[in-house]
Amino acid sequence: MSVTEQKELLTKNKQTLENSSRRNFLKNLGIVGGGLVVGIPLTGCASVQLPNTMDSDLQPNALLQITANNDIYFYLPRSEMGQGVYTGLTTVLAEELDVHPGKIKVKNVGAHDEYANPEYGLQLTGGSNSIRTHFIPLRQMAANVRMVIRQAAAQELQLPLDQIQTDDGMIVANGKKWPYGAFSEVAAHLSLPEETPIKKKSDFKYIGKHSKRLDSVAKSTGSAEFGLDVEFAGLHRAALKRCPVLGGTVKSFDDSKAKSMPGVKAVVSIFNGVAVVADHYYQAKAALPVLDVQWELPETLSDFSSDSTEAGNGKQLFKDALDSDEADNAYQEGNGREALTTSDTVVSAEYWAPYLAHATMEPMNCTAKFTGDQLEIWTGCQNPGVAAKLAAFYGDVAKEDVTVHSTFLGGGFGRRIANDYVAEAVSIAKASGLAVQLIWSREDDTKHDYYRPATMAEFQIGLDKNGNIDSWNVKRSGPNILPYTMDEVADAMMPGFLPDGMVDWISKAGFSLFDGWTVDPTSVEGLFEDYDANHKSADHVTVDPGLPVGFWRSVGHSFSGFFKESMMDEVAILQQQDPVAYRLKHLKHNPRLANTLKLAAEKAGWGKPLPKGHYHGVAVHSSFLSYVTEIAEVSVNNGQINVHKVTCVVDCGLAVNPEIVIQQMESGILFGLTAALYGEITVKDGAVVQSNFHDYPMLRMHESPDIEVVIVESDEAPTGVGEPGLPPIAGAVGNAIFAATGRRLRSLPLKLS
């Protein structure tokens, strides 16, 4: 693919997402607020002072720095949380710079406007867009830098430019080699080219090649710094007692017993609880139970209870909403729902997915230290820029006086887009006057999450006389994510001169905006897009008991993949047609997804004999501009569901590092399989019931299936891989269970007893 074609595809892909995504909505609301400065700015401008500037260095666009000592630094603009951007983006840069990726020193960046995600307008990592949105800009920047170093070398060596070549970070001329750094100071004073030709795919040395992760050694040896690893003289640990009902506040408290316990230095009340600060974490944690706290409970959530049974009143709320006439239309094509009146047959079904926690390996944590009016925070988060502004808000300091030290993230999955733990740590440090590291326990993490929204959906599929789909209609009920995001971001992003009452009004405006005015795209994404139909409609009705919700790996696709693919399987079976063949009939306008289905059926041996008692189930889904098919091989013994193998085919465009693509598909499948078989957060009188892995279990190693991942060879621009492996797995397993037992499971988690 030519450079022009790649750029055009990147622009097209970007516009496609922006037209239907949460990121564009945020931007439209307006809440996004001595070296050589060169390259293509990720933010579209270079209007602010760059960090890390040294007069003698070549520093393009706050991302790349080449010193006179030939140290090459890449300031990683996205957060590494296991998804592989540390390696992937470095590889993209290294390719055009003509340096082995392992020779580049990668630094996790703090908060700075020049590190904003070009698609979101915020310094945010999420939505599986890091490689896709940086693929062309980073390559172009690196190619420009390599060219200016060649020009500097030509000037210094007094040779024609065509006699100056590069090889692994070295200038090569007349049989001799010099490091890039030898020419960095001269290069810093030259005009940088803007459109240096970038490489053809056939010339790639590093992109598209299997290679080990650049952060694997540091993570294996313990030298990688995560938030929990932060340590310095004078640092204390903090634990926080929060209201059992999320959103509750402190009415009164008695701390007399806690203050007398060993190691306790302070007990302070903050906006959502009472914190104990001690010399060591377990001293702080041990003092929490003796705190006597009276709570002011939120009215709505306190009256809410839910479980996975039909009798659970929480589930009935969602059912009542579906049965009502109230709904906002999110999408319509053709005659929409009205086309059902002329359908030969109508197939209907309802599906349910519960609230889910993120359960990251590293629980939430943040370290905060005040030095006069200066505030420093150390944390692993998915949006350092918002974290800095939220810290300024809760620390009552100027935004420019906040310094963020970013660390590796021990898992994000969308949880670390919210910065509640940053607000808590800063509030505790300010109230106590001490430098503190706030650490969440596993119980805190499970009971005080921003959960994946519970969801119920009703499908009505109209078939023509030949049994083909003519009308595809779906109605979803459940909470919306964006109001909760707006609620937090408003505190951080609104100008400081606005009255608190106005900021609070703005922050709460999203709850009414997405209930009757417009539809949060994350609430309906993936429910209607994939299959061909002459008529389509997608409707939404808001049901929100008040349990905070947030972005969870693959967001709305996490439930829509199960709903849509179960429904498609039901229709195919009722028409007595093969599920693979029936899907292919309805993917004529989605050739890339159809291709993954054909390849997966071939690789898995669809329709061929399986071991006795084993059955196949299939599911396809497109998300984050990638296309995935998964076929699950399942057996059922005495009500026990066993997943033996998953065959996964993914079309994610050009795979920058195929090994990481495979890892992310495996990771998404296992993450989604955990949710499919076990995941469920329930609520009793407003309080989350689950607390740890004994009642919110994870998939164990002996339960993990064999996974075969096939990557479609492609010249298309890279697309997302961190999330697209998850949406199909629950549907594939559920459909295999039907093949094995004849029972259609329409609720998650999948249970036969």
CATH of range 227-296+381-439; options 3.90.1170, 3.30.200, 2.60.40, 1.20.1630: 3.90.1170
The three-class DSSP label of residue 681 is strand
Between the CA of residue 412 and those of 137, 383, 487, 701, what are the distances in Å? 25, 11, 20, 21
**pLDDT surpasses 70 at 308:** no
Architecture of domain 3-220: 2-Layer Sandwich (3.30)
Q: Is the pLDDT of residue 44 over 50?
A: no
What pLDDT is stored for residue 137 in this prediction? 95
- Position 117 pLDDT exceeds 70: yes
Asked whether the predicted pLDDT for residue 224 surpasses 50, the reply is yes
Which residues, at least 6 apart from 416, have a Cβ–Cβ distance to it below 8 Å?
79, 81, 360, 364, 380, 381, 382, 409
Give the model's pLDDT for residue 288: 98
Integer Cα distance of 376 and 436 in angstroms: 11
Question: Distance between CA atoms of 532 and 468, rounded to whole angstroms?
Answer: 10
Residue 36: pLDDT over 80:
no
Res. 22: pLDDT tops 80: no
Residue 2 confidence (pLDDT): 41
Beta bridge mates, 104: none
The pLDDT score that the predictor gives to residue 299 is 85
The domain defined by 313-356+453-481+520-741 folds into Aldehyde Oxidoreductase; domain 4 (3.30.365)
- Burial label for 256, CB within 10 Å (0-12, 13-18, 19+), is exposed
Query: Of 695, 724, 355, 383, which Cα lies nearest the Cα of 553?
Result: 724
- Which distant-in-sequence residues (6+ apart) come within 8 Å of 581 by Cβ? none
* pLDDT tens string 53-90: 776 788 878 999 999 999 999 999 999 999 999 999 99
- The per-residue pLDDT for 433 is 98
pLDDT at 510: 77
Residue 486: pLDDT band with limits 50, 70, 90: confident
List CB contacts of 749: < 8 A, sequence separation 6 or more.
Answer: 308, 354, 675, 676, 677, 678, 679, 680
3-state secondary structure of 436: strand
| Mean pLDDT along residues 594-616 | 98
Give the residue-averaged pLDDT of 211-227.
96
Domain chopping of the chain, boundaries: 3-220, 227-296+381-439, 313-356+453-481+520-741
Reported as a single tens digit per residue, the pLDDT across 499-533 is 666 666 677 777 888 887 899 999 999 999 999 99
Percent of the chain with pLDDT over 70: 90
Place of tokens 């949710």: 675
- For 331-365, the pLDDT digits (tens) are 999 999 999 999 999 999 999 999 999 999 999 99
Short-list 586, 663, 661, 669, CA closest to 631 = 669
Choice among 16-20, 69-73, 472-476, 656-660 with the minimum mean pLDDT? 16-20
Order of strands across the sheet with 170-173? 165-167, 170-173, 176-179
Task: Return d(Cα 418, Cα 467) in angstroms, integer.
Answer: 46
Q: Do the domains at 3-220 and 227-296+381-439 have one common CATH topology?
A: no
Which pair of tokens denotes residue 324? Answer: 């009502």
Choose the weakest-confidence range: 13-22, 105-114, 690-699.
13-22
How far from each other are the two terminal CA atoms of the chain, in whole angstroms? 53
Looking at residue 516, its pLDDT comes to 78
Please, which residues have CB within 8 angstroms of residue 102's CB and are 6 or more apart in sequence? 214
Per-residue DSSP letter, 668: H
Q: Taking all residues of the chain, what is their mean pLDDT, rounded to a whole number?
A: 91
Tokens of 507: 């922050």
Alpha helices in 494-578 (DSSP H): 500-513, 557-574
**What's the pLDDT at 181?**
96
Interatomic CA distance for residues 146 and 166, integer angstroms? 8
pLDDT at 49: 66
Given this model, what pLDDT does residue 307 score? 65
**Mean pLDDT for the stretch of residues 248-276:** 97
- Residue among 281, 224, 283 nearest 259 (CA): 283
The SS3 of residue 381 is coil
The single residue listed with the structure tokens 């340590």 is 231
CB-hemisphere CA count at 13 Å for 96? 26
